[in-house]
Amino acid sequence: MLELDSATFDRETQRGPLLVDFWAPWCRPCKALEPILEELPVEVAKVNVDEQAGIAARFDVLSIPTVILFSGGEPRGVVMGVRPRAHFDQWLAKVLPAG
């Protein structure tokens, strides 16, 4: 899974769609969410909020895990907390750009 930082974030989120997982290594719910995200039919990247606090603040990430779908550099939807795979499938069907 791609790890984003201040040097790569804007470039990578311009491509799309890209699901960005805001997480921290000490966060148990974040670790529980990782295998669910890996199964989703969309590219996933990670932002370590401890190391990239500026990126987290830019998108008002106040709790983790927070997952934001980006397309064309813009956030298209947010899911906070751990959710089952079915929730992500339904959410992606609503927020992914058509085509």
Just list the catalytic residues: 27, 30
Mode of pairing for the β-strands spanning 66-71 and 18-23: antiparallel
Residue whose pair of structure tokens reads 């791609």 in the numeric block = 2
Task: Tell me which amino acid residue 8 is.
Answer: T
